[in-house]
Amino acid sequence: MKKRWLSISMFALILVSLIPISSAEAAGNGSWDRILSGTLDYNPTYGFCDSANARSTGGDVLIRGEVPYVTYELWESDPGSGNDDYIGKRYLTPEKINGIFRGINWAVDGSNNRAELYVKVNGRAVDGKWVGIWD
């Protein structure tokens, strides 16, 4: 009986080891495509740092920031004042370096069929620091 249990356990271990493991599994074409690599710049009028816009096709989006222990917000930019759409926020740490947002197809709009995404962080602590967005 012990031999059979050992054989079954070894077989299960081999099967599990064949499954790819990734903390940031991409959708669509199976890989993450970087759509922004830039800095967060402080806006003294509004009191926050934000990135440039990146054009996304929707689906799943991943963000990563240089500074840990910070809450990073993801927004979709729309023309006009106060028209931007809040997508969500992720608190990133050295152990959790990726912030993943699933199913943001609803943010795709405009004649270009893209969501114009940017990252925002309240305050000045991340001014000039790197941020990336993957689609």
User: In this structure, what CATH number is given to the domain that contains residue 130?
Assistant: 2.60.120
Q: What is the pLDDT at residue 79? A: 84
Contact, 63 vs 135, CB < 8 A? no
Q: What is the pLDDT of residues 25-38, one digit of tens each?
A: 454 567 899 999 99
Contact, 129 vs 65, CB < 8 A? yes
Asked if the structure places residue 47 within a domain, the reply is yes
Question: What's the rounded Cα separation, in Å, for the pair 12 and 5?
Answer: 11
Asked if the structure places residue 11 within a domain, the reply is no
Question: What's the rounded Cα separation, in Å, for the pair 54 and 71?
Answer: 19
Asked if the structure places residue 74 within a domain, the reply is yes
Q: What is the mean pLDDT of the chain?
A: 84
Q: What is the pLDDT at residue 30? A: 73
Q: What is the pLDDT at residue 121? A: 98
Asked if the structure places residue 123 within a domain, the reply is yes
Q: What is the pLDDT at residue 18? A: 33
Contact, 77 vs 116, CB < 8 A? yes
Domain tally, the chain: 1
Asked if the structure places residue 55 within a domain, the reply is yes
Domain that holds residue 129: 27-134
Q: What is the pLDDT of residues 74-125, one digit of tens each?
A: 999 988 777 899 999 999 999 999 999 999 999 999 889 999 999 999 999 9
Q: What is the pLDDT of residues 1-19, one digit of tens each?
A: 444 433 443 333 333 233 3
Share of the chain above pLDDT 90, in %: 71
Asked if the structure places residue 15 within a domain, the reply is no
Asked if the structure places residue 92 within a domain, the reply is yes
Asked if the structure places residue 21 within a domain, the reply is no
Q: What is the pLDDT at residue 28? A: 56
